[in-house]
Amino acid sequence: MTISQESYHERLRTLSEASVHIHFDAFTDIDWDNPDFAIDPEDPRWVLPAADPLGGHPWYQEQPLEVRTKIGLWRYANIVKVGMQFENVLIRGVMDYLFSLPNQNPEFRYLTHEATEECHHTQMFQEFVNRAGADVPGGRRSFRVVSRFLPLAGSLIPESFFTGVLAGEEPIDHLQKAILRGGEDIHPLMRRLMQIHVAEEARHISFAHEFLRVKVPGYGRFRRGALSVAFPVIMRVLGDVIVVPDRKTAEKIGVPHWVIKDIFWKSPDGEKMLRDLFSDVRMLAEDIGLMNRASRKVWRALRIDGRPSRFRGEPAPHAA
């Protein structure tokens, strides 16, 4: 389903107004010095819930409590660090895109709201890492190097840039919602960070979907064809950057490489989770004409094919 320019502009106004009325400040809306939010590395509430890929693995569940607690805090800190790095790239790319927008374009207002919110997210995430005392690297080294150049896509190939935005935001949104819905006893500070992030990322994800819905159908045949093939590649590559921990870092904390390989994405549960992470963007690709004979082969080769969501945010079924 595509949308008209008028409907698109109306949705941008709605998103902008929502950003004015519901937004969060990293140091006003989180009481960092609240004793309940104190980070004790031995607090058993750092044990990963079953909704986390590592937390649900038998190897992790068989470890002593102190080991699970230590690994859990490291896992949370590293995901948060990757999130900070990804959102830093997003902010720079958005600013690059906005620089040359014509006057009267409502994208300017909304995307500036989004960049402001992402700045608060980077502060929120880095503050957590600092207080956790975990010297985590975040994304793998290759991502940290390439991240210097990725923001240029904001103005040069915006459809690929906003595809990349979804590739980073959709998987972490999927995992955080699964953890929050699971109802397990997670640390209140981490719960608060997730609640804030999920609330604001809903707008950011919505914008990226609407942007592609209104832009892509107007592209020429070659540009659409190129994006149809690039779309699943961007999803898989950046999705792995966000979700899969670096091998060397995992081994330092005591997680064997075979466990990481099994979780991401060799086991049946891992394969299902990989497909589930991208069900919403498969729906988007279908709706805007990016699913064709060639692109379906790429989705299948990358093992992220499957049934598209019936609606955005549809919970994944428990069985494949």
State pTM to two decimals: 0.92
Q: Determine, yes or no, domain membership for 185.
A: yes
pLDDT confidence bin for 2, thresholds 50/70/90: low
The predicted model gives 217-223 an average pLDDT of: 94
Gap between the Cα atoms of 283 and 235, Å rounded: 13
Q: Is the pLDDT of residue 229 over 80?
A: yes
DSSP single-letter state for residue 266? I
Q: Determine, yes or no, domain membership for 74.
A: yes
Range of the domain at 145: 5-226
Gap between the Cα atoms of 17 and 15, Å rounded: 5
Q: Determine, yes or no, domain membership for 78.
A: yes
Look at residue 320 in the predicted model and tell me its pLDDT: 39
Place of tokens 């929120």: 124
286-305 pLDDT, tens digit each:
999 999 999 999 999 999 99
Look at residue 267 in the predicted model and tell me its pLDDT: 87
Gap between the Cα atoms of 191 and 196, Å rounded: 9
What is the C-alpha R_g of the chain?
19
Gap between the Cα atoms of 188 and 196, Å rounded: 12
102-159 pLDDT, tens digit each:
999 999 999 999 999 999 999 999 999 999 998 999 999 899 999 999 999 999 999 9
pLDDT confidence bin for 319, thresholds 50/70/90: very low
Number of other CB atoms surrounding residue 319 within 10 Å: 5
Look at residue 318 in the predicted model and tell me its pLDDT: 56
Q: Determine, yes or no, domain membership for 160.
A: yes
CATH number of the domain that 87 lies in? 1.10.620.20
The total of structural domains in the chain comes to 1
Q: Determine, yes or no, domain membership for 108.
A: yes
